[in-house]
Chains A and B, each alone.
Chain A
Amino acid sequence: KNEVEQSPQNLTAQEGEFITINCSYSVGISALHWLQQHPGGGIVSLFMLSSGKKKHGRLIATINIQEKHSSLHITASHPRDSAVYICAVNSGSRLTFGEGTQLTVNP
Protein backbone atom coordinates (compact mmCIF):
# COMPACT_ATOMS: atom_id res chain seq x y z
CA LYS A 1 0.00 0.00 0.00
CA ASN A 2 1.35 3.42 -0.96
CA GLU A 3 1.90 5.95 1.79
CA VAL A 4 -0.01 8.53 -0.28
CA GLU A 5 -3.05 7.51 -2.27
CA GLN A 6 -5.11 9.68 -4.57
CA SER A 7 -8.53 9.23 -6.07
CA PRO A 8 -9.70 9.21 -8.71
CA GLN A 9 -6.79 8.31 -10.97
CA ASN A 10 -8.55 9.84 -13.96
CA LEU A 11 -11.31 12.41 -14.05
CA THR A 12 -13.17 13.90 -17.01
CA ALA A 13 -15.46 16.86 -16.49
CA GLN A 14 -17.43 19.37 -18.49
CA GLU A 15 -16.49 23.00 -18.36
CA GLY A 16 -18.10 24.70 -15.39
CA GLU A 17 -18.37 21.60 -13.21
CA PHE A 18 -17.20 21.46 -9.59
CA ILE A 19 -14.30 19.04 -9.21
CA THR A 20 -12.93 17.22 -6.18
CA ILE A 21 -9.70 15.24 -5.98
CA ASN A 22 -8.95 13.29 -2.82
CA CYS A 23 -5.72 12.37 -1.08
CA SER A 24 -5.25 9.98 1.84
CA TYR A 25 -1.99 9.30 3.60
CA SER A 26 -0.84 6.79 6.17
CA VAL A 27 2.18 8.47 7.76
CA GLY A 28 2.65 11.33 10.19
CA ILE A 29 3.23 14.53 8.27
CA SER A 30 4.37 18.08 8.88
CA ALA A 31 2.77 19.46 5.71
CA LEU A 32 0.82 18.41 2.63
CA HIS A 33 1.30 19.83 -0.85
CA TRP A 34 -0.92 19.99 -3.90
CA LEU A 35 1.01 20.25 -7.16
CA GLN A 36 -0.09 20.73 -10.76
CA GLN A 37 1.81 19.19 -13.67
CA HIS A 38 1.06 20.25 -17.24
CA PRO A 39 1.78 18.07 -20.29
CA GLY A 40 5.18 19.72 -20.83
CA GLY A 41 6.31 18.25 -17.52
CA GLY A 42 6.85 21.34 -15.38
CA ILE A 43 5.32 21.31 -11.90
CA VAL A 44 3.66 24.23 -10.14
CA SER A 45 3.08 24.30 -6.41
CA LEU A 46 -0.59 25.12 -5.74
CA PHE A 47 -0.87 24.81 -1.98
CA MET A 48 1.05 23.81 1.11
CA LEU A 49 -1.17 22.92 4.06
CA SER A 50 -0.60 21.84 7.62
CA SER A 51 -4.17 22.41 8.86
CA GLY A 52 -7.55 23.79 7.86
CA LYS A 53 -8.30 25.24 4.48
CA LYS A 54 -6.70 27.47 1.85
CA LYS A 55 -8.23 29.21 -1.15
CA HIS A 56 -6.60 30.69 -4.22
CA GLY A 57 -8.89 31.87 -6.98
CA ARG A 58 -11.06 28.93 -8.04
CA LEU A 59 -8.96 26.43 -6.13
CA ILE A 60 -9.66 25.33 -2.57
CA ALA A 61 -7.61 22.84 -0.55
CA THR A 62 -8.63 21.32 2.77
CA ILE A 63 -6.93 18.96 5.17
CA ASN A 64 -8.21 16.86 8.06
CA ILE A 65 -5.20 15.84 10.13
CA GLN A 66 -7.16 13.42 12.34
CA GLU A 67 -8.56 11.55 9.35
CA LYS A 68 -5.29 11.88 7.35
CA HIS A 69 -7.17 13.17 4.36
CA SER A 70 -7.02 16.15 2.06
CA SER A 71 -9.16 17.36 -0.81
CA LEU A 72 -8.50 19.71 -3.70
CA HIS A 73 -11.58 21.41 -5.13
CA ILE A 74 -11.85 23.33 -8.39
CA THR A 75 -14.90 25.51 -8.84
CA ALA A 76 -16.21 26.51 -12.28
CA SER A 77 -13.69 24.24 -14.02
CA HIS A 78 -12.17 25.33 -17.31
CA PRO A 79 -10.29 23.44 -20.06
CA ARG A 80 -7.08 25.17 -18.98
CA ASP A 81 -7.39 23.30 -15.66
CA SER A 82 -6.61 20.09 -17.56
CA ALA A 83 -3.44 18.71 -15.98
CA VAL A 84 -2.16 16.10 -13.57
CA TYR A 85 -2.75 17.02 -9.93
CA ILE A 86 -0.32 15.50 -7.44
CA CYS A 87 -0.63 15.23 -3.68
CA ALA A 88 2.64 15.08 -1.74
CA VAL A 89 3.39 14.94 1.98
CA ASN A 90 6.37 16.05 4.06
CA SER A 91 7.30 13.26 6.43
CA GLY A 92 10.48 14.34 8.16
CA SER A 93 12.74 15.78 5.47
CA ARG A 94 11.28 13.55 2.77
CA LEU A 95 8.57 14.48 0.29
CA THR A 96 6.42 11.50 -0.69
CA PHE A 97 4.23 11.75 -3.78
CA GLY A 98 0.91 10.28 -4.76
CA GLU A 99 0.43 8.75 -8.19
CA GLY A 100 -1.42 11.80 -9.47
CA THR A 101 -4.89 12.45 -10.85
CA GLN A 102 -5.24 13.15 -14.57
CA LEU A 103 -7.96 15.79 -14.98
CA THR A 104 -9.46 16.56 -18.38
CA VAL A 105 -11.98 19.38 -18.65
CA ASN A 106 -13.90 19.43 -21.91
CA PRO A 107 -15.37 22.63 -23.37
Chain B
Amino acid sequence: SAVISQKPSRDICQRGTSLTIQCQVDSQVTMMFWYRQQPGQSLTLIATANQGSEATYESGFVIDKFPISRPNLTFSTLTVSNMSPEDSSIYLCSVREGLIFEQFFGPGTRLTVL
Protein backbone atom coordinates (compact mmCIF):
# COMPACT_ATOMS: atom_id res chain seq x y z
CA SER B 1 0.00 0.00 0.00
CA ALA B 2 1.12 3.55 -0.69
CA VAL B 3 2.26 5.64 2.26
CA ILE B 4 1.32 9.29 2.01
CA SER B 5 2.61 12.19 4.07
CA GLN B 6 1.25 15.70 4.17
CA LYS B 7 2.72 18.96 5.42
CA PRO B 8 1.64 20.83 7.41
CA SER B 9 -0.58 18.60 9.54
CA ARG B 10 -2.47 21.64 10.75
CA ASP B 11 -2.32 25.40 10.54
CA ILE B 12 -4.14 28.49 11.70
CA CYS B 13 -4.09 31.28 9.14
CA GLN B 14 -5.31 34.81 8.79
CA ARG B 15 -7.98 35.85 6.32
CA GLY B 16 -6.55 36.94 2.97
CA THR B 17 -3.36 34.90 3.17
CA SER B 18 -2.45 31.72 1.25
CA LEU B 19 -1.29 28.31 2.41
CA THR B 20 0.48 25.63 0.39
CA ILE B 21 -0.03 22.00 1.40
CA GLN B 22 2.47 19.38 0.31
CA CYS B 23 1.73 15.73 -0.43
CA GLN B 24 4.53 13.17 -0.72
CA VAL B 25 3.99 9.51 -1.69
CA ASP B 26 6.53 6.76 -1.06
CA SER B 27 6.05 5.26 -4.54
CA GLN B 28 5.19 6.44 -8.04
CA VAL B 29 1.44 6.60 -8.59
CA THR B 30 -0.59 7.39 -11.65
CA MET B 31 -3.48 9.22 -10.02
CA MET B 32 -3.36 11.86 -7.29
CA PHE B 33 -6.35 13.70 -5.94
CA TRP B 34 -7.07 16.56 -3.56
CA TYR B 35 -10.20 16.47 -1.39
CA ARG B 36 -11.80 18.91 1.00
CA GLN B 37 -13.81 17.91 4.05
CA GLN B 38 -15.72 20.77 5.58
CA PRO B 39 -16.78 20.45 9.24
CA GLY B 40 -19.40 17.76 9.66
CA GLN B 41 -19.43 16.97 5.95
CA SER B 42 -18.19 14.15 3.78
CA LEU B 43 -15.30 14.44 1.35
CA THR B 44 -15.57 16.55 -1.78
CA LEU B 45 -13.16 16.17 -4.68
CA ILE B 46 -11.39 19.44 -5.50
CA ALA B 47 -9.28 18.26 -8.42
CA THR B 48 -7.19 15.54 -9.98
CA ALA B 49 -3.52 16.48 -10.04
CA ASN B 50 -1.98 15.64 -13.42
CA GLN B 51 1.74 15.12 -13.73
CA GLY B 52 3.30 17.72 -16.00
CA SER B 53 0.05 19.45 -16.92
CA GLU B 54 -2.77 21.51 -15.45
CA ALA B 55 -4.98 19.87 -12.84
CA THR B 56 -8.54 18.83 -13.67
CA TYR B 57 -10.93 20.73 -11.41
CA GLU B 58 -14.39 19.69 -10.28
CA SER B 59 -17.39 21.92 -10.61
CA GLY B 60 -17.25 24.72 -8.06
CA PHE B 61 -13.46 24.75 -7.77
CA VAL B 62 -11.18 27.00 -9.81
CA ILE B 63 -7.47 27.19 -10.42
CA ASP B 64 -7.13 30.76 -9.15
CA LYS B 65 -8.43 29.74 -5.74
CA PHE B 66 -6.82 26.26 -5.53
CA PRO B 67 -3.69 26.15 -7.71
CA ILE B 68 -2.20 22.67 -7.86
CA SER B 69 1.21 21.48 -8.96
CA ARG B 70 2.41 17.95 -9.69
CA PRO B 71 5.99 18.04 -10.89
CA ASN B 72 6.51 14.25 -10.71
CA LEU B 73 4.74 10.97 -9.90
CA THR B 74 5.36 11.15 -6.14
CA PHE B 75 4.70 14.77 -5.16
CA SER B 76 1.95 17.38 -5.40
CA THR B 77 1.03 20.67 -3.78
CA LEU B 78 -2.32 22.37 -3.22
CA THR B 79 -2.46 26.07 -2.45
CA VAL B 80 -5.50 27.61 -0.80
CA SER B 81 -5.41 31.23 -1.94
CA ASN B 82 -6.86 34.40 -0.45
CA MET B 83 -8.34 32.41 2.40
CA SER B 84 -11.58 33.15 4.18
CA PRO B 85 -13.13 31.42 7.23
CA GLU B 86 -15.23 29.32 4.82
CA ASP B 87 -12.01 27.60 3.73
CA SER B 88 -11.59 26.10 7.20
CA SER B 89 -11.57 22.38 6.44
CA ILE B 90 -9.50 19.25 6.37
CA TYR B 91 -7.64 18.94 3.07
CA LEU B 92 -6.69 15.41 2.06
CA CYS B 93 -4.33 14.10 -0.58
CA SER B 94 -5.25 10.73 -2.07
CA VAL B 95 -3.69 8.35 -4.59
CA ARG B 96 -4.88 5.47 -6.74
CA GLU B 97 -3.18 3.23 -9.27
CA GLY B 98 -6.10 2.78 -11.66
CA LEU B 99 -9.85 3.09 -12.08
CA ILE B 100 -10.80 0.34 -9.64
CA PHE B 101 -7.73 -0.15 -7.56
CA GLU B 102 -7.61 0.61 -3.87
CA GLN B 103 -7.43 4.28 -3.00
CA PHE B 104 -5.14 5.55 -0.24
CA PHE B 105 -5.45 8.74 1.75
CA GLY B 106 -2.99 10.99 3.46
CA PRO B 107 -3.26 12.05 7.11
CA GLY B 108 -4.91 15.33 6.15
CA THR B 109 -4.16 18.97 6.81
CA ARG B 110 -6.51 20.66 9.25
CA LEU B 111 -6.82 24.32 8.27
CA THR B 112 -8.44 26.99 10.39
CA VAL B 113 -8.88 30.47 8.94
CA LEU B 114 -9.54 33.32 11.35
Contact = CB atoms under 8 A, between A and B. Distances in A.
Interface string A17-40: 000000000000011010100001
A93 B108 CA distance: 22
Contacts of A86: 42-43
B100 A31 contact: yes
A57 interface: no
A42 B42 CA distance: 13
A76 interface: no
A45 B104 contact: yes
Contacts of B105: 35, 42-45
Contacts of A41: 37, 90, 92, 107-110
A99 B42 CA distance: 5
- Interface SS, A side: strand
Size class of the contact patch on chain A: 20 to 34
Contact of B107 (A42, A48, A100): A42
A100 B90 CA distance: 15
A43 B109 CA distance: 12
A7 interface: no
A92 interface: yes
B96 to A, nearest CB: 8
Contacts of B92: 41, 43
Contacts of A100: 42
Contact of B100 (A30, A44, A98): A30
Contacts of A95: 45, 103
Interface string B72-114: 0000000000000000001010000001111111111110000
B40 to A, nearest CB: 9
B6 to A, nearest CB: 9
Interface of B: 1, 9, 37, 41-43, 45, 90, 92, 99-110
